[in-house]
Each structure stands twice: as structure tokens, then as C-alpha cells.
């Protein structure tokens, strides 16, 4: 392999593979929460993005508090230390929210569309609470080491022209996502509660007539969802920054991920997350430099070779969503359609 | 065993069940028949706790269980099956059966993670029970098959299996014979009788197939327009003028009488 090809591969990894994997893992964790709620409670939870924002806000505040006390776990970000406590808080808030709002509609046996509208209301409330407490601006809460490999060091190490940088937040995202997904699947496949959740998702009527306590299944679903949302939100925040509005915007790609993979199907949510993330990254990346390395000299393009401006990145998930709904409404892995 | 006391259920102006009373005796297979719209399924849903009655009471073993939720009735040993067989389609036959018993240790998040031994012991006991049930129903060879791949009749057997997992006292069968072929229907009928004779079950079933009813049920309760029309042995009911009238209307009554049964 000549140097140009290696440079092209490094460039590709640096700008597409690593960011795509990271973003995909974040979307997958978010979509898992949406899919679990859809599978068990049978409604599209529009509040999920703002529940993520809420959980992350708690993490940010606890992180600041720890930092002010001088408690850090360098080289890892302090936010990791704040996570467990924040998860417990957002679990309680989510359960309280279910008890105060969604349980009422369950008792009334309301239609899924009523639930969706209620969840939109919850979304606005969470949205308001977050902005009220922490404000609408960008918040920085990362600390510790920033990079696993810096581009400059990589260049020095390999003598290549192109550098590969991997941020701590990116490495963390992927490692944590793998651990979480493994734990979640073990839980769903192996434990009695996990099986009860799957059973409840398969056939609610029958579950009600079995030894399955519906309120407990619902509560555990919310607990898991809150944990997933808080962790996904924190990882996203560490990777980019924490701004409440971004989390609301994440709702579209997260829903797209869940639907593309087949809503109600956890494997689908993960695959969907990566499909959406890579589509977004691949379509909005400017290939000029990549092509300079990849094509014979003299063929190098003059333009940016970018298919779509990053400003339009949300259009990508929207387009994929529309295509999937037109061609295969059940998603890649057969999800359920009410 | 179960007394239905003057139960009514009105949906708006429609009286789906209108002052119905009857009793289901311990160890009987009570048939509930009647023309479409007679209120059988609605009454079933009231007994099973899906709907609370507008008025009246359901007494189970001397205890008033009116308005209890299905899973609360489940705890008291009253189970039902569905007209269209319900199963947890993505779980295996064994998992379907193992899902039934309530309050398993593995259900609590804490013990699932921290009391593995206790959970495993209970799990093993329930697994043995499931194996015994599958043996009884001759479903053992399908233990690891996903329930969605079973035939209609096998799903009905699986539903009976669910009731056996908790040693139900009373089982409500909603058209257990619907959409099942003759051979399997016979097997289901045999299973029902075996459950009654060997395990002391009490059954109440909605059914349309007269042969099936004649073979299994005694007594048969006939409903029409939300009320109990009559009850008796299958033969008595078949000979009852009111029943024929309710099913076919007055005009056709004489015509039917002329035909051999």
C-alpha cells in the first residue's frame, strides 16, 4: 500500500469512522430508550430528548459541585463520577412523572395518540424546567484528559501527513455503549423481569392475565429508560457540549433510528442508530481532501465534494425516515406497528 | 364455586348483559351458549375482570370479587383463555409457561442481580413444573420453539398449559375450539376432561360447536339478549323450544323440528 492510500484511510477513519461510531452509539442508546417505551407502554415518547437533557443537566450540576469540592477522577471526566447519582435522581423524576401523568391515561386505557400528546406536554415541561434551572446556553463540563491519541502525536508516530485523533469522550462513548447494550440484552434475555418486559411487549392482554405485575413492568421500563437517557445525554454532552436545544433536536435522528431499525425491537434500535449516524456523517462530509489522496494525481477535484451542508444534517435522518416508512414501514428488523 | 348474581353491564344505552344470574359448580364443565350478540363474551369479560359490571356481583368461593382486575383474579386462581389464542410470540414454549407464576424472585431488580442463588433455585422449580406441564400436554418436543411458530391448536393447548402452571381453580375458555381441526379438537377436549378429573379443575366455556358441547358440558347455560334463557343438560337444551327460537327466530323453528338433529 502506498502512502497516499494509507493517508486516505486515516483521513476516512478520523472524519467518518470514529465520529460515526461515536454518534451512532449515542443515537443507539437514545433510540433504545424510545424503543423500550414504545414496546412496553405502546406510545412514541416525544419527551425522550428533553428527558435526556434533564438527566444531563443533573450530571452537569453534580459535576460542577464535585469540581468545586476538588473531587476529580483525572484522566477521566468527573462527569462519570456524577453519573450514578444523577441516574438515581432522573429515575426518581421519571417515575414521579409516570405516576403523575402517564398512569392516569393507562388507567383510562387511553389511545396511543393521547399518550403521544401527553408526552409532548411532558416534553415542554421538561424543556422549560431545564432552561429555567440551567439556562439555554452552552455549558462546559468536561475535564480530565481530552485525547486518547492526538492528531499531532499520531503524525509523529507514523510519519504520515494525516493525523488520527480519538477523543476520550469518543472512546468512553463506545466502551460504555458496548457495556450497556450487553447488560441490557442480558437483562432482557435472561432475567425474569426482562422476559416479563418482552412478554408484556408481545401481548399486553395476556400479560395482564399472567403473573406479571403491569405496574412493575412499566416502572422498570421507565427506570431503564431514564438510565439510558441520562447516560446517552451525558456522553453526547461530553463529546460535543451541553445545550438544551440540541437535545430536543436529537429527537428526530433518535426516532428515525428506532423506526429504521424496527420500532419496539432493541436490536433494531442499535442498528438504526448506526445507520442514521453514518448516513449523516457520510453525506455531510467534504471529500475533497480524501479524493486528493485516493484518485490518481491530476484527477483531484476543485470543489469541496460535499453532498450536503452540515446545516442540513437533520434532513438526512428525515429523508431516511420517509424512505423507510414508504418502502418498509416495519423497519429493518420487523418492529411492531400499532 | 362461582356465582353470577344479577349482573348487568350497560354500554351507553345498550344492555349487553341485563340481570344475569347463574352458578358454576365445582368440578363442572359449564357451557355458555347463545346466538351472536347474546352477551356471552361480555359476561365472560365481566367474570374475568376486564369490565366492571354496572350492577350485580361475582362471587368466587364465597368471596365477592366484583370489579377486581384480571391479575388480581389470577391470584385467586381464576384464569381465562382467549377466542384467538394469545401467546408471547417471541418467547419459547417453555418461557411462555415459565412466565405464568407470579411473584418470582427474579422479578425484583435487586434479587435478579444480588440474590442469584435464590432466583436460580426458584427458577429450577418452575422449570420442572413447566416440563411436567409440557409432558401432560404432549408439547415437550416443542419446548424451545418460539410460540409464534405453533399451530392454532397447539397455541390453544399452550393456553391450557398456562393455567396448569399455577394450578388454576377455575378456567374460563373462550371458544377454545374455534379454528382448530377435528383431531386436535378431540385432544383439547380430552385434555379438558383430564384436567377436570385428575386435577379438579372447574371450567366455564363459550362454544358454538354443538358436538363439542354435548361431549364436554354439563350443564349448558343458554343466553339470549343479555339474559339467561334456560339451562340444563345438553340434550335438554337442544330440545328446548325457546332455545331454538332464540337461535333461529320463530319462523324457522318448525322447519328445524322437521329435520333430524
The whole-number average pLDDT for the span A158-187 is 92
Share of residues in chain B with pLDDT > 90 (%)? 0
The pLDDT of residue B18: 85
**Minimum Cα–Cα distance from B96: chain A residue:** A199
Chain A residue with CA closest to B91: the answer is A199
Has residue B261 got a pLDDT over 50?
A: no
Cis peptide before A97 (omega within 30 of 0): no
A223 contacts on B by Cβ (under 8 Å): 109
Residue predicted with more confidence, B16 or A126: A126
In terms of domains, do B109 and B173 share one?
A: no
Crossing angle of helices A266-284 and A168-190, in 10° steps, is 160
Q: Does B79 touch chain A (CB under 8 A)?
A: yes
Spatial CA neighbour of A30 closest among A195, A245, A253, A213: A253
Beta-bridge partners for A33? none
Asked if residue A201 lies in contact with residue A268, where contact means CB atoms within 8 angstroms, the answer is: no
Average the pLDDT over each of A15-29, A162-176, B25-39 and give the range with the smallest value. B25-39
Do B54 and B177 reside in the same domain of the chain?
Answer: yes
In sequence order, the β-bridge partners of residue B31 are B205, B220
Is B161 inside any structural domain? no
Chain A residues with a Cβ under 8 Å from any Cβ in chain B: 187, 191-193, 195-196, 198-199, 202-203, 205-214, 216, 220, 223
Q: Is B184 on the interface with A (CB under 8 A)?
A: no
What is the C-alpha to C-alpha distance for residues B148 and B145, in angstroms, rounded to an integer? 8
List residues bridging with B32 in a β-sheet: B206, B221
Q: What is the DSSP letter of A298?
A: T
- C-beta of residue A72 within 8 angstroms of C-beta of residue A79: no
Clarify whether residues B83 and B191 are in a common domain.
yes
What is the sign of the dihedral through the CA atoms of A101, B71, A217 and B111? positive
**Does residue B58 sit in the same domain as residue B115?**
no
Distance between CA atoms of residues A103 and A41, nearest Å: 10
Q: What is the mean pLDDT of residues A324-333?
A: 86
Distance between CA B44 and CA A206 in Å, rounded? 15
- CB nearest to A209's CB, from B79, B91, B112: B79
Asked if A211 lies within 8 A of B166 by C-beta distance, the reply is yes
- Dihedral sign computed on CA atoms, order B230, B236, B238, B242: negative
**Is A191 in Cβ contact with B106 (below 8 Å)?**
yes
Partners of residue B71 in chain A, C-beta under 8 Å = 208-214
pLDDT of residue B147: 87
Do B208 and B226 lie in one domain? The reply is yes
Q: Write the ipTM.
A: 0.70
- The share of chain A scoring above pLDDT 90, in percent, equals 57
Any CB–CB contact under 8 A between B88 and chain A? yes
Query: From the CA atom positions of chain A, what is the Rg in Å?
Result: 21
Q: Is residue B159 part of a domain?
A: no
- Number of domains forming the structure of chain B: 2
φ, ψ dihedrals at A6, nearest 5°? -65, -40
Residue B172's SS3 state is strand
A2, A150 Cβ separation under 8 angstroms: no
As given in the structure block, the three cell numbers for residue B7 are 349482573
Give a yes or no: residue B177 inside a domain.
yes
Q: What is the pLDDT of residue A215?
A: 87
Mean pLDDT of A96-105: 95
Q: What angle do CA B163, B60, B173 make, to 5 degrees?
A: 35
Distance (Å, whole) CA A193 – CA B162: 18
Q: At what angle do helices A48-69 and A112-134 cross, to 10 degrees?
A: 30
Is A192 close to B106, i.e. CB distance below 8 A? yes
Q: Is the CB of residue B88 less than 8 Å from the CB of residue A206?
A: yes
Which tens digit of pLDDT belongs to each residue from B2-11? 888 888 888 8
Residues A142-155: what's their mean pLDDT?
A: 87
B207-253 pLDDT, tens digit per residue, is 888 888 888 888 888 888 888 888 888 888 878 777 777 776 655 55
Look at A195 and B99 and tell me if their CB atoms are within 8 Å: yes
Interface test with B, best of A108, A185, A203, A206 (most B CBs within 10 A): A206
- Burial tier of B229 (Cβ tally within 10 Å: 0-12, 13-18, 19+): buried
Rounded Cα distance between A176 and A326, Å, is: 34
Decide if A203 and B119 are in contact by the 8 Å CB cutoff. Answer: no
Partners of A187 on chain B (C-beta within 8 Å) are 112
* Distance of alpha carbon A70 from the chain centroid: 30
Strands lying side by side in the sheet with B202-206: B78-80, B170-174, B202-206, B29-33, B220-224, B227-232
Q: How far is A334 from chain B (nearest CA, A)?
A: 12
The helix (H) or strand (E) run that includes residue B136 is helix B116-136
Nearest chain B residue to A199 by CA: give it.
Answer: B88
Residues B83 and B181 in one domain: yes
Instruction: Output the pLDDT for position B107.
Output: 61
Are B35 and B104 found together in one domain? no
Residue of chain A with shortest Cα separation from B73 = A209
**How distant is the Cα of A70 from the closest Cα of chain B, in angstroms?**
33
B76 and B172 share a domain?
Answer: yes
- A187 contacts A194 by C-beta, under 8 angstroms: yes
pLDDT more than 70, % of chain B: 89
pLDDT-derived band at B111 (thresholds 50, 70, 90) equals: low
**Which among A64, A131, A130 is positioned nearest to A93, based on CA atoms?**
A130
Name every chain B residue with its beta carbon within 8 A of the beta carbon of A196. Answer: 99, 107
Give me A240's grid cell.
Answer: 460535543
Output the nine-digit C-alpha cell for A80. 462519570
d(CA B119, nearest CA chain A) in Å: 9
Q: Which domain holds residue B101?
A: 91-149
Q: What is the pLDDT of residue A338?
A: 47
Chain B residues whose beta carbon lies within 8 Å of the beta carbon of residue A220: 109
Contact present, A202 and A42 (Cβ < 8 Å): no
Count CA atoms closer than 13 A to B5's CA, side-chain side.
Answer: 13
How far apart CA A338 and CA A58 sit, in angstroms, is: 34
Residue A103 CB partners (closer than 8 Å, separation 6+): A215
- State which of A1-5, A102-106, A324-328, B125-129 shows the largest mean pLDDT: A102-106
Q: Which of B91, B108, B123 sits opposite A198 (nearest CB)?
A: B91
Band (pLDDT 50/70/90 cuts) for residue B63 is: confident
Identify which of A195, A214, A220 has the shortest CB distance to residue B91. A195
pLDDT of B260 > 70? The answer is: no
Same-domain pairing of B81 and B180: yes
Backbone angles phi, psi at A27, to 5 degrees: -65, -40
* Test mutation, B45, B68, B84, B86, chain A, max A CBs within 10 A: B86
Q: CB of B5 within 8 A of CB of B65?
A: no
Q: How many inter-chain contacts (A to B, CB under 8 Å) are there?
A: 78
Asked whether residue B135 falls in the same domain as residue B197, the answer is: no
Question: Which CATH number do you get for residue B192?
Answer: 3.40.50.300
Chain segment A196-245, per-residue pLDDT in tens: 888 888 888 788 777 778 888 999 999 999 999 999 999 999 998 899 99
Cite the beta strand spans of chain A per DSSP E. Answer: 147-149, 166-167
Q: Does residue B139 sit in the same domain as residue B237?
A: no
| Contact between chains at B71 and A203 (C-beta distance less than 8 A) | no
B36 close contact with A: CB closer than 8 A = no
Geometric angle at alpha carbon A103, from A101 and A107, rounded to 5°: 130
Nearest chain A residue to B161 by CA: give it: A210
Kindly report the backbone phi and psi dihedral angles of residue A286, in degrees, each rounded to the nearest multiple of 5, phi listed first: -90, 115
Phi/psi for B14 (5° steps) reads -90, 125
Question: By CB neighbour count within 10 A (0-12 exposed, 13-18 middle, 19+ buried), where does B214 fall?
Answer: middle
pLDDT class of A26 with cuts at 50, 70, 90: very high
Cβ within 8 Å, pair B69-A208:
yes
* Same domain assignment for residues B204 and B102: no
How is chain B split among helix, strand and coil, in percent rounded to 5?
45, 25, 30
Mean pLDDT of chain B: 82
Do the strands A147-149 and B14-24 form a parallel or antiparallel pair, or are they unpaired? Answer: unpaired
Residues 6 or more apart in contact with residue A82 via CB below 8 angstroms: A59, A62, A63, A65, A66
CB contact under 8 A, B82 and A191: no
Cα–chain-centroid distance for residue A22?
9
Decide if B88 and A199 are in contact by the 8 Å CB cutoff: yes
Q: What rounded mean pLDDT belongs to chain A?
A: 90
A205 neighbourhood in chain B, CB within 8 Å: 82, 86
Amino acid at each position: 500500500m502506498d502512502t497516499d492510500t494509507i493517508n486516505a484511510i486515516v483521513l476516512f477513519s478520523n472524519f467518518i469512522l470514529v465520529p460515526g461510531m461515536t454518534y451512532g452509539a449515542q443515537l443507539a442508546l437514545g433510540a433504545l430508550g424510545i424503543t423500550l417505551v414504545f414496546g412496553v407502554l405502546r406510545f412514541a415518547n416525544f419527551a425522550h430528548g428533553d428527558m435526556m437533557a434533564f438527566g444531563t443537566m443533573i450530571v452537569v450540576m453534580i459535576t460542577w459541585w464535585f469540581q468545586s469540592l476538588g473531587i476529580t477522577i483525572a484522566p477521566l471526566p468527573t462527569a462519570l463520577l456524577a453519573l450514578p447519582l444523577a441516574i438515581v435522581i432522573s429515575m426518581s423524576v421519571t417515575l414521579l412523572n409516570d405516576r403523575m401523568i402517564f398512569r392516569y391515561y393507562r388507567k383510562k386505557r387511553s389511545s396511543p395518540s393521547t399518550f403521544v400528546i401527553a408526552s409532548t406536554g411532558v416534553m415542554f415541561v421538561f424543556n422549560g424546567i431545564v432552561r429555567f434551572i440551567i439556562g439555554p446556553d452552552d455549558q462546559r463540563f468536561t475535564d480530565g484528559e481530552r485525547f486518547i491519541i492526538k492528531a499531532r502525536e499520531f503524525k509523529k508516530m507514523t510519519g504520515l501527513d494525516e493525523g488520527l485523533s480519538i477523543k476520550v469522550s469518543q472512546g468512553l462513548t463506545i466502551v460504555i455503549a458496548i457495556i450497556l447494550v450487553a447488560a441490557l440484552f442480558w437483562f432482557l434475555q435472561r432475567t425474569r423481569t426482562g422476559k416479563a418486559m418482552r412478554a408484556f411487549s408481545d401481548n399486553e392482554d395476556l400479560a395482564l392475565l399472567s403473573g406479571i405485575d403491569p405496574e412493575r413492568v412499566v416502572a422498570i421500563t421507565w427506570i431503564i429508560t431514564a438510565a439510558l437517557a441520562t447516560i446517552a445525554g451525558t456522553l453526547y454532552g461530553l463529546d460535543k457540549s451541553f445545550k438544551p436545544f440540541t437535545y430536543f433536536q436529537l429527537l428526530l435522528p433518535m426516532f428515525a433510528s428506532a423506526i429504521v431499525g424496527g420500532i419496539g425491537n432493541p436490536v433494531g434500535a442499535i442498528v438504526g442508530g448506526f445507520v442514521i449516524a453514518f448516513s449523516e456523517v457520510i453525506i455531510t462530509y467534504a471529500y475533497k481532501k480524501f479524493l486528493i489522496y485516493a484518485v490518481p494525481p491530476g484527477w483531484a477535484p476543485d470543489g469541496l465534494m460535499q453532498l450536503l451542508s452540515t446545516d442540513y444534517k437533520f434532513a438526512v435522518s428525515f429523508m431516511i425516515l420517509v424512505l423507510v416508512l414508504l418502502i418498509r414501514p416495519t423497519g429493518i428488523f420487523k418492529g411492531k406497528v400499532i | 364455586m362461582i356465582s353470577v348474581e344479577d349482573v348487568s353491564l350497560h354500554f351507553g344505552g345498550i344492555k349487553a348483559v341485563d340481570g344475569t344470574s347463574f352458578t358454576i359448580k365445582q368440578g363442572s364443565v359449564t357451557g355458555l351458549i347463545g346466538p351472536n350478540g347474546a352477551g356471552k363474551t361480555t359476561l365472560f369479560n365481566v367474570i374475568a375482570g376486564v369490565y366492571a359490571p354496572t350492577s350485580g356481583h361475582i362471587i368466587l368461593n364465597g368471596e365477592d370479587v366484583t370489579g377486581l382486575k384480571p391479575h388480581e383474579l389470577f391470584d385467586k386462581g381464576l384464569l381465562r383463555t382467549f377466542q384467538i389464542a394469545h401467546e408471547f410470540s417471541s418467547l419459547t414454549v417453555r418461557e411462555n409457561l415459565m412466565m405464568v407464576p407470579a411473584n418470582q424472585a427474579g422479578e425484583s431488580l435487586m434479587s435478579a442481580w444480588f440474590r442469584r442463588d435464590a432466583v436460580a433455585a426458584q427458577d429450577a422449580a418452575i422449570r420442572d413444573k413447566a416440563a411436567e406441564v409440557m409432558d401432560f400436554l404432549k408439547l415437550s418436543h416443542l419446548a424451545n420453539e418460539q410460540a409464534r411458530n405453533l399451530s392454532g391448536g397447539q397455541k390453544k393447548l399452550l393456553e391450557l398449559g398456562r393455567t396448569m402452571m399455577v394450578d388454576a381453580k377455575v378456567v374460563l375458555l373462550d371458544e377454545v375450539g374455534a379454528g382448530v381441526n377435528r383431531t386436535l379438537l378431540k385432544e383439547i377436549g380430552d385434555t379438558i376432561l383430564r384436567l377436570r378429573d385428575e386435577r379438579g379443575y372447574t371450567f366455564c366455556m363459550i362454544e358454538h360447536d354443538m358436538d363439542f358441547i354435548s361431549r364436554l358440558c354439563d350443564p349448558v347455560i343458554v343466553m339470549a339478549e343479555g339474559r339467561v334463557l334456560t339451562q340444563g343438560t345438553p340434550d335438554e337444551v337442544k330440545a328446548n323450544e325457546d332455545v331454538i327460537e332464540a337461535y333461529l327466530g320463530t319462523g324457522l323453528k318448525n322447519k328445524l323440528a322437521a329435520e333430524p338433529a
